[in-house]
Amino acid sequence: MMSPMTEPRRHFQQQLSELEASALGGLDLVLGQLDRALEALEHQDVELAQFVIADDDRLDGRYLEVHQGILSLLALQSPVAGDLRLVAALLHLIKHVERMGDQCVNIAKLIPLTGHEPPVREEILKKIVQMGRSARAEVVQCKRAFADRDVAMAEDLIARDRDVNLLNREIFRMAVEVGDDLDTREWAMTMILVARALERVGDNAVDIGEQTAFVVTGLFREFSDASNSGQR
Amino acid sequence: MSSAKSVEVSDLDLYYGSFHAVQNVNMTIQPNKVTALIGSSGCGKSTFLRSLNRMHELVHGARVEGSVILEGQDIYAPDVDPVAVRSQVGMVFQQPNPFPTMSIYENVAAGLRLNSRRMKKPAMDEIVERSLRGANLWEEVKNRLERAGSGLSGGQQQRLCIARAIAVEPEVLLMDEPCSALDPVATLAIEELIRELKVNYTIVIVTHNMQQASRASDITGFFNLEESGKPGRLVEIDETETIFSNPANKATEDYVTGRFG
Amino acid sequence: MSTASVASSARAPITHDSLPAWGPWAVVGGVLLAAVALGSATEVALGVLLLLGVVLSVGVVYVWSRAVEGSRRAKDRSVTIAVTASFLLAIAPLVSVLYTVLSRGLARFDAPFFTETARNVVGEGGGASHAIVGTLVITGVATLASVPIGIMAAIYLHEYGSGRLKKALTFFVDVMTGIPSIVAGLFAVALFVLFFGPGIRLGVMGAVALSVLMIPIVVRSTEEMLKIVPDGLREASYALGVPKWRTIVKVVLPTALAGIITGVMVAVARVIGETAPLLITTGVFSSMNSNPFDGRMSNLPVFAFNQYKFPGAIPEPYIDRAWAAALTLIVIVMTLSLAARLIYRRFGTDIR
């Protein structure tokens, strides 16, 4: 009766793993959006920024698709135990995916505001690019942690996020001290908003890490000080 | 009204002749709670349930080792009368089984009458009404108490059997797959009734329907056998919510998520 | 493989040709009429011809149906005819017996037959009231003795018995079911001779002989009825804290009652026509005696036997009385069966 070949809910298991793949695929879309938003920022490429904004529809579409899939699984298959936790976590995960996408759009929308030839301070831009890379690494890591159900890797996200938060504060301080030039100050203020968007992306990645731990252990706990350190 | 009691099961082993059916069960069945026993067919959960009021002894060659303590008294102590145990631990069966020769009224009164307790008509009337009300059946049958119990629908018959069981005021009520012969609406009615009954009784229910266990019970115990031929064991028992959201044991997880039958 | 290809190539259409509804009947009717005609024209026995006719019509219907409808329906039709014919063959003796007994027994099925005895009757007239009373008394006593014993034995075997003793008892009950009735009669004679000396003839001796025959039947039929009382009812009763003996008396027996009564009726019908054991136990007597403990006692089977075996100078009145006695027996058995049916209808319990 316990022979491994009998798996009475094979169809359901397949649906569930397809749903997970689809939701985690959303993180790949986020990575693409993030890369292009950062590139547009670096090169003041307004056209590329427009693409980022337009492509957010794909992420929103993915959100609706996964959400619908989760609803039908709940309605038709009554998942329990580990399956139930996975379904619940996916519901969270896809929402975080959608929010990360929105942050990329926020960054893209800020690019045209700074004008055609903004007074760029290289040291601030360098920090922004560094922060973008860190946030990107967090997204990659949270995806792998979730897919592998790797709690240790998920918990490691806190350390990564701490770096991002530190960069965020640093950029804030540098922007405040940027000087009296009005245009430069306006550009620097915009960079604060970009940094904040990147910081939010990192927070969402940590949240996905929390969901990973929930799927594995069944216990939900907020990862240490991830959410209250840094500016919110 | 009767008072619900807890049942303490320690190191219980059950045998049919030389066949070891259930191995080393330890559990505390809590008063005023619904305890559901789940597990695949042949894992010994029904056998175990029957050992709680010594009904298994009706099968030739069945014997038990260990103790089942009902409010301080081991029901397997040598001086205990199994008949007396059963009047304290009632039972409802898979197939609704009202006595076919008796009317609805007589069915409910059967437990008292068959034990030849002499009772005045008004007192008996009161018990019958209270039991039928307790089983949510009074309104449906109050005008046809003299009709045959077998004329009722399956769900009504099962509620009649519950009324019959609670008429003798047991402390514990055992239910062996009480809904498996019923349609979904009747099933939900019984489940609702089980929730109401736990106010006065300690209830243990064996079910194959995991949704039923998750809907109707407070505590869920999972029985399993490692392989066929080996005795069944109690793998895990915990709050129903825990069993169905975050069971501790891998076998429990596999069973409730349907990864094996 | 796609469903389309299966449907287009291998699937038979769901419509088909069929024989006209009157077809098979016409064949059977025609063949049998021909058989009857042939039988009246020639010396060959009608029964043989009818049998051959049935075989022939089975063949004809098969061939015809196969040509029109295919082999599956052809088999179905020919088997239907064969089975129906077998049934008719089986009830033919019954109908024949009933017809013969009715036609020949009605001659003396009159009021004097039921009011007068055969005392001092030579030739025509007289009656069998003494034999009717005797049959009712002897069978009644036998029933009174065997029903409680039989039912209690069955309760023991089904509800209590276990192991070797039960197996041995079941075996002996089976053996008793099969003993020839004359052996039961000899047993009763031997038993009473032990106490009263040779030559003893009593009504109660017949009753004892009949009891020996009845008990195993009652045990068997009661056991069967107890078997079909669902275990669920016993369990329900035990689960209410009812002791075993009360469960049997108040739940099991009432549930099985209608069936047990039917079984008893069958047993009565089985023994009421017994002749041999009564012939040697109750003796032959032509006067009224309703006391089974006082001397010889007449009864219908022995009366019929005697009238037939020892007719007077003019045999017809004797033969007529024998047939009337046989008819009376059949009426009594039928009345009992009918009563059993009514009891079953009235008090019968549907046992699932």
The string of DSSP codes covering C147-193 is: HHHHHHHHHIIIII--HHHHHHHHHHHHHHHTS-HHHHHHHHHHHHH
Q: Which of A93, A100, A70 is nearest to A24 (CA)?
A: A93
Note whether A81 contacts B: Cβ–Cβ < 8 A: yes
Write the secondary structure of chain A as one string of H (helix), E (strand) and C (coil).
Answer: CCCCCCCCCHHHHHHHHHHHHHHHHHHHHHHHHHHHHHHHHHHCCHHHHHHHHHHHHHHHHHHHHHHHHHHHHHHHHCCCHHHHHHHHHHHHHHHHHHHHHHHHHHHHHHHHHCCCCCCCCHHHHHHHHHHHHHHHHHHHHHHHHHHHCCHHHHHHHHHHHHHHHHHHHHHHHHHHCCCCCHHHHHHHHHHHHHHHHHHHHHHHHHHHHHHHHHHHHCCCCCCCCCCCCCCC
DSSP structural state of residue C12: P
Q: Which of B17, B12, B18 is nearest to B61 (CA)?
A: B17
The strand pairing partners of B8, in sequence order, are B28, B69
Of A53-67, B48-62, B218-232, C334-348, the range with the highest mean pLDDT is A53-67
Q: Do A82 and B253 touch (CB under 8 A)?
A: yes
pLDDT-above-70 percentage for chain C: 95
List of chains touching A (3+ CB pairs within 8 A): B
Give the closest of C235, C254, C255 to B93, CB-based. Answer: C235
Give the closest of A2, A9, A217 to B258, CB-based. Answer: A9
- Residues of B in CB contact (< 8 Å) with C are 53, 55, 58, 60, 83-88, 90-91, 93, 95, 97, 99-101, 110-111, 114-116, 150, 161, 164-165, 168
Interatomic CA distance for residues C320 and C340, integer angstroms:
30
**Looking up tokens 């037939």, which residue turns up?**
C308
Domains along chain C? 19-107 (no CATH), 112-347 (1.10.3720.10)
Q: What is the pLDDT of residue B108?
A: 93
**Tokens describing residue B60:** 């030739």
Q: At B160, is the secondary structure helix, strand, or coil? A: helix
Query: Angle, to 10 degrees, between the axis of helix C129-155 and the axis of helix C203-228?
Result: 40
Q: Does the pLDDT of residue A178 top 90, yes or no?
A: no
Measured between beta carbons, the chain A residues lying within 8 angstroms of B258 are: 8-9, 12
Interface probe, candidates C166, C228, C229, C240, chain B, greatest B C-beta count within 10 A: C240
Kindly list the distances between the CA atom of residue C45 and the CA atoms of A122, C40, C87, C214, in Å, as whole numbers in the listed order.
127, 9, 21, 41
Q: Do A6 and B228 touch (CB under 8 A)?
A: no
Q: Does the pLDDT of residue C351 top 70, yes or no?
A: no
B153 within some domain:
no
pLDDT tier at B209, thresholds 50, 70, 90: confident
Q: Which of C320, A10, A156, A80 is nearest to B257 (CA)?
A: A80
Helices (H), chain B: 45-51, 82-88, 104-114, 121-134, 138-141, 154-167, 184-197, 210-216, 240-245, 250-256
**Tokens describing residue C160:** 């209590």
A&B contacts, CB < 8 Å: 51
pLDDT tier at C349, thresholds 50, 70, 90: low
pLDDT, mean of residues C254-265: 88
Q: At B10, is the secondary structure helix, strand, or coil? A: strand
Residue B68 belongs to what domain range?
7-99+170-256
Interatomic CA distance for residues A232 and A209, integer angstroms:
19
pLDDT, mean of residues B220-230: 86
Q: What is the pLDDT of residue A2?
A: 43
Q: Do C236 and B93 touch (CB under 8 A)?
A: yes
The answer to whether chain A touches chain B by having 3 or more C-beta pairs less than 8 angstroms apart is yes
The CATH number of whichever domain residue B47 belongs to comes to: 3.40.50.300
The strand pairing partners of B27, in sequence order, are B9
Q: Where are the domains of chain A?
A: 10-217
B228: amino acid identity, one letter = S
Nearest residue in chain B measured CA to CA from A81: B245
pLDDT, mean of residues A142-153: 94
Give the closest of A2, A79, A81 to B247, CB-based. Answer: A81
Measured between beta carbons, the chain B residues lying within 8 angstroms of A10 are: none
Q: Does the pLDDT of residue A5 top 80, yes or no?
A: no
CB A70 within 8 A of CB A84: no
Phi-psi region of B59 (alpha: psi -120 to 50; beta: other; left: phi over 0): beta
pLDDT, mean of residues B192-196: 89
Q: Do B243 and A81 touch (CB under 8 A)?
A: yes
Nearest residue in chain B measured CA to CA from A88: B245
Nearest residue in chain A measured CA to CA from B242: A81
Distance of residue B220 Cα from the nearest chain A Cα, in angstroms: 13
Note whether B40 contacts A: Cβ–Cβ < 8 A: yes
Q: Does the pLDDT of residue A229 top 50, yes or no?
A: no
**Looking up tokens 């504060």, which residue turns up?**
A169
Q: Do B259 and A7 touch (CB under 8 A)?
A: yes
Give the closest of C240, C243, C351 to B100, CB-based. Answer: C351
B235 phi/psi in degrees, rounded to 5: -80, -45
pLDDT-above-90 percentage for chain B: 42
Q: What is the pLDDT of residue B1?
A: 45
Q: Does the pLDDT of residue C348 top 70, yes or no?
A: no
Kindly list the distances between the CA atom of residue C3 and the CA atoms of C8, C9, C13, in Å, as whole numbers in the listed order.
9, 10, 15
Q: Do A81 and B257 touch (CB under 8 A)?
A: yes
Mean pLDDT of chain C: 87
pLDDT, mean of residues C321-335: 92
pLDDT, mean of residues B37-64: 88
pLDDT tier at B181, thresholds 50, 70, 90: confident
Q: Does the pLDDT of residue B149 top 90, yes or no?
A: no
Note whether C242 contacts B: Cβ–Cβ < 8 A: yes
pLDDT tier at A40, thresholds 50, 70, 90: very high
Kindly list the distances between the CA atom of residue C279 and the CA atoms of A124, B143, C291, C345, in Å, as whole numbers in the listed order.
130, 60, 17, 37
Q: What is the pLDDT of residue C285?
A: 83
Interface probe, candidates B55, B101, B161, B168, chain C, greatest C C-beta count within 10 A: B101
Q: At B220, is the secondary structure helix, strand, or coil? A: strand
pLDDT of C119-163, one tens digit each? Answer: 877 778 888 899 999 999 999 999 999 999 999 999 999 988 888
Q: What is the pLDDT of residue A222?
A: 80
CB C19 within 8 A of CB C68: yes
Residue C313: burial class (beta carbons within 10 Å; 0-12, 13-18, 19+): exposed
Measured between beta carbons, the chain B residues lying within 8 angstroms of C238 are: 55, 58, 83, 86
List of chains touching C (3+ CB pairs within 8 A): B
Q: What is the pLDDT of residue A140?
A: 95
Q: Do B90 and C349 touch (CB under 8 A)?
A: no
Side-chain-side CA neighbours of residue C171 (13 Å): 6
Give the closest of B226, B227, B245 to A84, CB-based. Answer: B245
Q: What is the pLDDT of residue A225?
A: 53
Give the closest of C239, C257, C350 to B86, CB-based. Answer: C239
Interatomic CA distance for residues B38 and A164, integer angstroms:
49
Q: What is the pLDDT of residue A224?
A: 64
Note whether A78 contacts B: Cβ–Cβ < 8 A: yes
Interatomic CA distance for residues C219 and A51, integer angstroms:
94
Mean pLDDT of chain A: 89
**Tokens describing residue C301:** 């089977």
Mean pLDDT of chain B: 89
pLDDT, mean of residues A16-37: 94
Interatomic CA distance for residues A205 and A227, integer angstroms:
11
Q: Higher-confidence residue: A225 or A14?
A: A14
Interatomic CA distance for residues C158 and B147, integer angstroms:
31
pLDDT, mean of residues C28-54: 84
Q: Which residues contact C155 (CB under 8 A, 6 or more apart)?
A: C222, C226, C248, C253
Nearest residue in chain B measured CA to CA from A86: B245
Q: Higher-confidence residue: A28 or C298?
A: A28
CATH 3.40.640.10 corresponds to the domain A10-217: no
pLDDT of B66-93, one tens digit each? Answer: 999 998 889 998 899 888 889 899 999 9
Note whether A85 contacts B: Cβ–Cβ < 8 A: yes
Q: What is the pLDDT of residue B185?
A: 85
Q: What is the pLDDT of residue A183?
A: 85
The answer to whether chain A touches chain C by having 3 or more C-beta pairs less than 8 angstroms apart is no
CB A173 within 8 A of CB A133: no
pLDDT of B109-144, one tens digit each? Answer: 998 888 767 788 888 999 999 999 888 899 899 899
Nearest residue in chain B measured CA to CA from C159: B58
pLDDT of C189-225, one tens digit each? Answer: 999 999 988 888 888 999 999 999 999 999 999 999 9
Q: Do A1 and B214 touch (CB under 8 A)?
A: no
B225 within some domain:
yes
Q: What is the pLDDT of residue C25?
A: 84
Q: Give me the residues of B, 198-237, that contact A with CB < 8 A.
A: 210-211, 214, 225-228
**Looking up tokens 């209590």, which residue turns up?**
C160
Q: Does the pLDDT of residue A51 top 60, yes or no?
A: yes
Interatomic CA distance for residues A209 and A27, integer angstroms:
13
Nearest residue in chain B measured CA to CA from C241: B87
pLDDT, mean of residues A93-112: 94
Interatomic CA distance for residues C130 and C116, integer angstroms:
8
Cα end-to-end distance, chain B, whole Å = 41
pLDDT of B98-110, one tens digit each? Answer: 998 889 999 999 9
Q: Does the pLDDT of residue B58 top 60, yes or no?
A: yes
Q: What is the pLDDT of residue A141?
A: 95
Q: Do A8 and B259 touch (CB under 8 A)?
A: yes
Q: Do A9 and B42 touch (CB under 8 A)?
A: no
How many separate domains does chain B show? 1
CB B101 within 8 A of CB B47: no
The strand pairing partners of B68, in sequence order, are B9
Q: Higher-confidence residue: C46 or A224?
A: C46
Q: At B8, is the secondary structure helix, strand, or coil? A: strand
